[in-house]
Structure 1
């Protein structure tokens, strides 16, 4: 099955891939990936990697928000645009 996950920003995909391998190493799965490949990983293992990635990204975002004393106007605009785009897609426009 092809990977349908695409990075929002061009160039971020390689950083996300490196991050994925870093997280896999942290939770002790890098050897299995290297010897057996991603296609032979269990759903639980891949989910653990994705879940830990998400947790770390949320922590980073929270840190940045705390340092900036709240939500930046750029982030707020982006969230509003994403919500509008999602609503338009759901309505079939």
Structure 2
């Protein structure tokens, strides 16, 4: 079970995940059981990559 440290961020993260998945051509829906682990992992990895880049650009 996933816990959100900031519950208010849940909707924003869902929107971000959907945006990244769409850009990558991964068909995310309410049910993602038909997707491969590689597809899901690639979306999660890209999300983390973008969040780190955003954070690092804020440090400059």
Work out whether the TM-score is over 0.5.
yes
Matched length: 59
* Off by >3 Å, runs of 4+ in structure 1: none
Larger RCO: 1 or 2 (CA < 8 Å, sep 6+): 2
Structure with the higher helix share, 1 or 2 = 1
Q: Which runs of 5+ in 2 are unaligned?
A: none
Q: Equivalents in 2 of 1:5, 1:64: separation in Å?
A: 27
Q: Which runs of 5+ in 1 are unaligned?
A: 67-93
Structure showing greater Rg: 1
Cα RMSD of the aligned pairs, angstroms, is 1.2
TM-score (norm 2): 0.86
**Corresponding position of 1:43:** 37
Aligned residue among 16, 19, 26 for 1:19: 16
TM-score (norm 1): 0.58
